[in-house]
Amino acid sequence: MNLLKSDKFIKEVLSYIKFPFDREDIKKELEAHILDKMEYYIDDRGIDKITAEELTLRDMGDPKEIGIALNKEHNFILGWIYKITNAIVTIFLIITVFTAGISLISTIFSGNPAKHISKEDIVYDIKVNEKVKIDDRVIKFKNVIYEKNGDMNIVYEYYDTKLLGMGWSLGHIGTIKDNLGNEYFEGSGSSSGGIITKGVETMNDFSSEADTLIIEYDMYNRYYKVEIPLKVGDSNE
C-alpha cells in the first residue's frame, strides 16, 4: 500500500490470524477501508496525507484487539477442514468427470465388437434387436453371426438406466441352447467398457441344423429367455 504506518497496522492485525488462507482477503478489506477513510480526511476535510493516515489509524482502533477478534471468526481448524473437504470434493469431481469422459470416448470409439470376423467366413448375419432387462441393466441382442467353421457369435450391448449402476460387467449373458436340445458353452467372449458396453460371445461347433437359438438367463432370481430364429443351411446372406 506504500503507507508505512498503515502497512504496519495491517501486518500486526494479520499476525493474529492463524489460518493463512484468509489473510489476503482480510488484508485487502482493511486496505480498502483505510484508503477510503484517508480519502475522506484529505478530500472532504482538507487534511494532509500524513495526518490523514494517522487519524485513520486512530479511528481504526487497536490492531491487536481487531486481530484477536478476527482470528476467532477465521477458525484455524474449521478453515483447514473446509480446505481439505473442498480439495477432496474437487478431486472426486475431476475423477468423476474423467471417468465419465473415458466411458463416453470408449463408447463412441468402441465400434463393432464382431469386426474381427471377415466377410468371407460368414454364413449368415441376422439382425435381432431383442431387448431384455435385469434390474436397472438393459441388454440388447443386436445380431447373430454364423461362421463357416461352426462358430456362432452373439453380438450384444448393455447399459444401465441409472448412472450410479455403472461399473459391474455383465460377464454372462445366459445359457445358450438350440431347438435341437444342444447346450453350448462359451468358446470365447469379449466386451469393451463405456456407457454402453458392447460385447460378443462366441460358441464353437454350433449345429448348422438348428433353426432357433435360445438364450436363457436364470440366476439370482432373475430370468429371461430370448429365442432367435436362424437360417438353416449353408446359403450365404
Partner 1 sequence: MYKCGGVVVKIDKGLVGGSTILLLLSLLQEKDRYGYEIIRELEIRSDNTFQFKEGTLYPVLHKLENMGYVESYLSKGDAGRERKYYQITKRGRKQFVEEKQQWDIFSKSVEKVIYGDDHEFA
Residues that bind partner 1 (CB under 8 A): 13, 25-26, 28-30, 32-33, 35-37, 39-40, 59-63, 65-66, 69-70, 72-74
* φ, ψ dihedrals at 5, nearest 5°: -70, -40
CB-nearer residue toward partner 1: 12 or 160: 12
CB-nearer residue toward partner 1: 86 or 236: 86
CB-nearer residue toward partner 1: 3 or 30: 30
Is 153 in contact with 115 (CB distance < 8 Å)?
A: no
* φ, ψ dihedrals at 191, nearest 5°: -150, 155
CB-nearer residue toward partner 1: 71 or 143: 71
Q: Which of 133, 149, 153, 140 is nearest to 213 (CA)?
A: 153
| Smallest distance from partner 1 to CB 66, Å | 4
CA–centroid distance for 85 within its chain: 19
| Smallest distance from partner 1 to CB 193, Å | 43
| Smallest distance from partner 1 to CB 46, Å | 18
| Smallest distance from partner 1 to CB 32, Å | 5
- Residue 110 to residue 98: CA distance in whole angstroms: 17
| Smallest distance from partner 1 to CB 62, Å | 7
CB-nearer residue toward partner 1: 49 or 225: 49
Can you list the alpha helix ranges (DSSP code H) found in 47-157? 49-60, 63-73, 76-109
Decide: helix, strand or coil at residue 140: strand
